[in-house]
Amino acid sequence: MELNKEVTLLQNEIRKFAKEVIAEKADEFDKQAMFPAEVIKKLAEMGILGATIPEAFGGCNLDTASLIVCLEEIARVCPSTALVIATHDILFSYLIAKFGDQSMQSKYLSRAASGELVGGFAEIQTNEISSVNAGSTFVVNGRNSILLNGVTGAPFVCCVNDNNRFSILLVEENAAGVTRNKKDNIIGMRAAGITELVFANCSIAKENLLGKENEGKGVLEEVAWFANLGFAAINLGICQAAMENALKYAKERIQFGEPIINFGMVREIISNMTTKIETLRLLVYDTAALRDSGKEFSRSAAIARHFSNQSVAEITTNAIQVYGGYGYMKDYPVEKYFRDAQVSRVLFTSNIELQESIVSRII
């Protein structure tokens, strides 16, 4: 699929920004587990934090292809920053724009578009949060070990369970009974601001519902394939970066008097990497085009995410093999891409769920 002129111009702009502004700081972000606040601020000025927000609230309401190429280009340099953007744009702002009432949209979307707040999302697969209906409020207890963008202290979206009836809530910043504990011991996406989330008798008004009470599964299904496409784009960016670094090293590394890129085994690895990357890119871009044209895209998104999960694991592992023993050292970038891949490939939707989704749509 060929990108249109507008998307290509945006892609080039973000690629230039990533190389000139983010690249020199990405290693420090990872080693120090440092949230890229200044980078996010600059991306907000470029309109990227308003990608899914209507113009009436200060957003730019980008099409899917535009957001996808942004995530891909940023992930090539700093996957953590790409994860921050995907969480804010898709799992926070889009949910409010789609399911929030007018009051909620007015309260949060303008601030989200400007970057005044960077919204979060409590990961579904690690959710242990329950609620009790208390009339006009929910009383929420429990924990979730992964709150994406939690370190910002901004509002976030979470799913609560009331006897297997699920609701989606927006939790305001500084809500009483909410504790966020920074997690520095994660292996990858260390700069993405991930925290642990703990609720202790937190009272949340029903006005903070996204969608209807006890209909949270429908809300999540609506956003799921958009989110999975976003994660596939991040995986694509990681794959591209791992391949480029492995190829560069293979051209420079001399063994037995010649560059190792001349060796058949290394050439085969690079060839397989390139083939998978180009296949994945076609899947991701085609799925974005389907969504932009208003066509059914869930099956295509499931295939793109599933293939991206497989590819990012294989390509980052093989990149390390090209480097040999050096690939495991923090002096070289491929070990970071390997670590980030282990996180990006497991968030939001499990591989079993993706496989079931693919199968259920073809039988």
Look at residue 207 in the predicted model and tell me its pLDDT. 94
DSSP 18-81: IIIIIHHHHHHHHHTT---HHHHHHHHHTTGGGTTS-GGGT-----HHHHHHHHHHHHHH-HHH
> Which has the closest alpha carbon to 195: 183, 206, 213, 184?
183
Q: Is the pLDDT of residue 240 over 70?
A: yes
Interatomic CA distance for residues 227 and 138, integer angstroms: 27
Contact 90, 121 (CB under 8 A): no
Torsion of CA 345, 346, 349, 355, to 10 degrees: 70
> What number of CA atoms fall less than 13 Å from residue 169's CA on the CB side?
25
CA distances from 7 to 52, 70, 209 (A): 15, 9, 34
Q: Is the pLDDT of residue 350 over 80?
A: no
Give residue-wise pLDDT tens across range 78-91.
Answer: 999 999 999 999 99
Look at residue 237 in the predicted model and tell me its pLDDT. 98
Specify the DSSP class assigned to residue 347: S
What does pTM read for this prediction?
A: 0.95
Q: Which fold has domain 120-215?
A: Butyryl-CoA Dehydrogenase, subunit A; domain 2 (2.40.110)
Mean pLDDT across 255-269: 94
Q: Which fold has domain 217-360?
A: Butyryl-CoA Dehydrogenase, subunit A; domain 3 (1.20.140)
In CATH terms, are 5-114 and 120-215 the same topology? no
Look at residue 163 in the predicted model and tell me its pLDDT. 85
Interatomic CA distance for residues 278 and 117, integer angstroms: 35
Specify the DSSP class assigned to residue 152: G
Give residue-wise pLDDT tens across range 168-225.
Answer: 999 999 899 999 998 878 899 999 999 999 999 999 999 999 999 888 889 998 899 9
Look at residue 363 in the predicted model and tell me its pLDDT. 62
From 125-129, 304-308, 358-362, the region with the lowest mean pLDDT? 358-362
CA 322 from chain centre, in angstroms, equals 27
Mean pLDDT (the chain, rounded): 93
Mean pLDDT across 111-132: 93
Instruction: Count CB-CB contacts under 10 A for residue 102.
Output: 7
Mean pLDDT across 149-171: 93
- Residue ranges of domains in the chain: 5-114, 120-215, 217-360
Mean pLDDT across 219-234: 94
Look at residue 264 in the predicted model and tell me its pLDDT. 94
Contact 98, 223 (CB under 8 A): yes
> Which has the closest alpha carbon to 117: 204, 44, 170, 57?
44
Contact 20, 41 (CB under 8 A): no
97 vs 134 pLDDT, higher one: 97
CA distances from 305 to 115, 170, 178 (A): 28, 26, 32
Look at residue 348 in the predicted model and tell me its pLDDT. 81
Percent of the residues in the chain that have a pLDDT greater than 90, as a whole number: 81
Both tokens of 73, joined, read 């280009």
Specify the DSSP class assigned to residue 93: I
> Which has the closest alpha carbon to 71: 97, 98, 95, 52?
52
Look at residue 327 in the predicted model and tell me its pLDDT. 76
> What number of CA atoms fall less than 13 Å from residue 220's CA on the CB side?
19
Interatomic CA distance for residues 111 and 264, integer angstroms: 54
Specify the DSSP class assigned to residue 325: G
Q: How many residues does the structure list for the chain?
A: 363
Q: What CATH code is assigned to 5-114?
A: 1.10.540.10
Look at residue 309 in the predicted model and tell me its pLDDT. 96
Report residue 319: phi and psi, to 5°. Answer: -65, -40
Beta-bridge partners for 128? 143
316 vs 213 pLDDT, higher one: 316
Look at residue 152 in the predicted model and tell me its pLDDT. 96
Percent of the residues in the chain that have a pLDDT greater than 70, as a whole number: 98
Interatomic CA distance for residues 347 and 334, integer angstroms: 21
Look at residue 357 in the predicted model and tell me its pLDDT. 74
Instruction: Count CB-CB contacts under 10 A for residue 1.
Output: 12
Mean pLDDT across 33-49: 97
Q: Is the pLDDT of residue 138 over 80?
A: yes
From 55-69, 145-159, 200-214, 348-362, the region with the lowest mean pLDDT? 348-362
Phi-psi region of 205 (alpha: psi -120 to 50; beta: other; left: phi over 0): beta
